[in-house]
């Protein structure tokens, strides 16, 4: 690689697929997932996961992840853009979606999500959880800010 000043340099980076996060609003509450992750321990985050190669787009991935993790389907979906959670380490993006009033059905978690707990938080509780570190997923915090400001 070439550094910004024109000299040759070395740059380490991580290749990872894009991912998706979903701010799902049901009866005035936002759905938050509590889950254990091998590297981070127990965290709270918004539903989401990888955009798989068979997904035609990030909305499809978001719909699949929301259904798997919470059992919710349908609703009014809004694209809130994307972000680079680790711009100095990876070109992977996180696509941000908001859904209002999806229908509830039984969740269908993957085997690695057997410990998953779905919480229904009032918006002010979700903001408090983001501020005090319970929501430790940076894209989830960003999506909470974007979605709550778009609802006003």
CA dist 41 and 56 (Å) reads: 31
In a domain, 91, yes or no: yes
CATH number at residue 40: 3.90.79.10
In a domain, 7, yes or no: no
- CA proximity to 133, closest of 141, 122, 124, 144: 141
Number of domains observed in the structure of the chain: 1
> 60 — alpha (psi -120 to 50), left (phi > 0) or beta?
alpha
Question: How buried is residue 69: exposed, middle or buried, by Cβ count under 10 Å (0-12/13-18/19+)?
Answer: buried
In a domain, 13, yes or no: no
Question: How buried is residue 131: exposed, middle or buried, by Cβ count under 10 Å (0-12/13-18/19+)?
Answer: exposed
Asked whether the whole model's pTM tops 0.75, one would answer yes
In a domain, 101, yes or no: yes
Determine the structural domain holding residue 115 and report its residue range. 19-150
- CA proximity to 108, closest of 60, 59, 47: 47
In a domain, 28, yes or no: yes
- pLDDT tens per residue across all 152 residues of the chain: 787 888 888 878 889 999 999 999 999 999 999 998 888 888 999 999 999 999 999 999 999 999 999 999 999 999 999 999 999 899 999 999 999 999 998 887 778 778 899 999 999 999 999 999 999 999 999 999 999 987 75
């Amino acid at each position: 690689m070439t550094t910004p000043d024109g000299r040759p340099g070395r740059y380490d980076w991580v290749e990872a697929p894009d991912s998706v996060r979903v701010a799902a609003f049901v009866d005035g509450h936002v759905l938050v997932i509590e889950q254990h992750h091998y590297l981070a321990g127990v965290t709270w985050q918004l539903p989401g996961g990888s955009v798989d190669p068979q997904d035609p787009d990030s909305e499809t991935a978001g719909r699949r992840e929301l259904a798997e993790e919470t059992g919710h389907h349908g609703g009014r979906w809004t694209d809130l853009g994307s972000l680079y959670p680790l711009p100095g380490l990876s070109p992977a993006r996180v696509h941000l979606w908001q859904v209002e009033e999806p229908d509830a059905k039984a969740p269908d978690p993957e085997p690695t999500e057997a410990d998953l707990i779905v919480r229904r938080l009032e918006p002010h509780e979700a903001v408090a959880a983001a501020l005090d570190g319970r929501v430790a997923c940076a894209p989830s915090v960003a999506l909470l800010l974007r979605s709550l400001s778009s609802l006003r």
